[in-house]
Homo-oligomer: A and B are copies of this chain.
Amino acid sequence: MGHTHVTATTSDEGPAVPVTIRDVARASGVHISTVSRTFSAPHLVNPETRVRVLACAEDLGYRPNRAARALITGRTHNIGLIIADIANPFFPPLIKAAESQARHRDYHVFVADTNEDPAVEEELVHALAKQVDGVLLCSPRMSNSLIEQLSREVPVVVVNRQVTGLPCVLMDVGQGARSAIEHLVGLGHRRIALLGGPRSSWTNREMRRAAGTAARAGGAELTVLGPNAPTETGGAAVAEQVRRSGVSAVLAYNDLMAIGLIEGLDALGVRVPQEVSVVGVDDITLSRLTRPKLTTVATPTGAAGRTAVDMLLQQDSESPRGARGPGAGTALGVRRTTAQVMLQTDLVIRDSTGPGPNARPARSLASSHGPDPHCPAGPGIPTAATGDAVAS
């Protein structure tokens, strides 16, 4: 069955008896409330008592039960991170940034993958709702209205999607697409294709709109191909279509598709960038490792993760959940301030774009063969990794 069974032993080292606050109280001769305070409000308990309790706790291996605590405080100190596809290298930097930011604030992050499936997405939000203090929805595939509805069940911050009334972290892919098209037009390309991503992707719509405008402004013709799966396979699958369409340049929905497309074109004997130029979006690590190295629109994924966590935690501290005091019943009347943050993107020119049919020889050659000149296309402000990105 593809596996070799090595060994099966039996031992009597079962999971130990769970040790609760009660055991510690008994061992140290105080009431459970004193033990509780030793952990959650140390300044309220006599130093001598405190050390004794701590010693007993250490001794017994006591750990506060976070679930039980959450039941009372309404705070789990967990954050849910829902991701469309964990296999897409775009996400890991975002995840890591979010985790690190959360850890600084004494929060833990639980990641879950939805396989690009809206139904799984919804189910996951429900499952997470009571186990986390808030959810980060990254590149959701659900409808806006469903997101709004779910946001009434648990605080939500949306990443890579604009939902009015909800806090959002957006990347300026419109600007990115514009820069990419301008870059291609500048190289002498007049017939350009846009490789669309998933239909329900906000990024997809934004890119399409901006690319269309930029192409018109530059006197180029834009063909939209798609929607497609946002993966290598999805990119490779349209190679034939790209060749037939007769375009000399392609802007892909993301790097993965761009790389897949290059592979597909290669298999058809079409050379990149000599015959077709390709631009991706995201600047995943991989885009520096393939040949040719990929020209791409870099998105500030790390900053997005940090910002999203900040926004969630801020929103969370404003309106405590599970409030019990007087006035808790009026929760429906709570006012909430929602900020939307747009992060800049940068065009990074590498080796997958070159002069097109209408190129002026000298200039275009120069601009297509620099040694990976990480050259920002925007106003030039680097996308900072600041924690103070939340202005409300």
Contact = CB atoms under 8 A, between A and B. Distances in A.
Interface of A: 1-18, 61, 63, 65-68, 70-71, 76, 78, 86-87, 89, 92-93, 95-96, 99, 108-113, 115, 124, 126-131, 148, 151-155, 164-165, 170, 172, 232, 259, 263, 285-286, 289-291, 300, 303, 307, 319, 321-322, 328-329, 331-344, 381-384, 386, 388-389, 391-392
Copies of this chain in the oligomer: 2
23 contacts: A1-B388, A3-B307, A3-B389, A4-B341, A5-B339, A12-B336, A13-B152, A15-B153, A17-B328, A17-B329, A63-B153, A66-B130, A67-B71, A67-B76, A67-B130, A87-B96, A99-B113, A108-B112, A108-B127, A108-B128, A110-B110, A290-B291, A291-B291
A131 to B, nearest CB: 6
A12 B344 contact: no
A4 B172 contact: yes
Contacts of A259: 289
Q: Which 10 A-B pairs have the closest CB atoms?
A: A14-B334, A110-B110, A2-B384, A87-B92, A2-B383, A111-B111, A6-B340, A4-B342, A8-B339, A291-B291
A351 to B, nearest CB: 12
Contacts of A321: 15, 18
B344 A15 contact: no
Contacts of A384: 1-3
Nearest to A263: B289
Given A66-B127, A113-B96, A300-B2, A14 B108 contact: no
Contact of A152 (B15, B93, B170, B383): B15
Instruction: Pick the most buried of A63, A113, A335: most chain B CB atoms within 10 A of its CB.
Output: A113
Contacts of A127: 66, 108
Contacts of A96: 86-87, 113, 115
Contacts of A131: 66-67, 78, 131
Contacts of A87: 89, 92-93, 96, 285
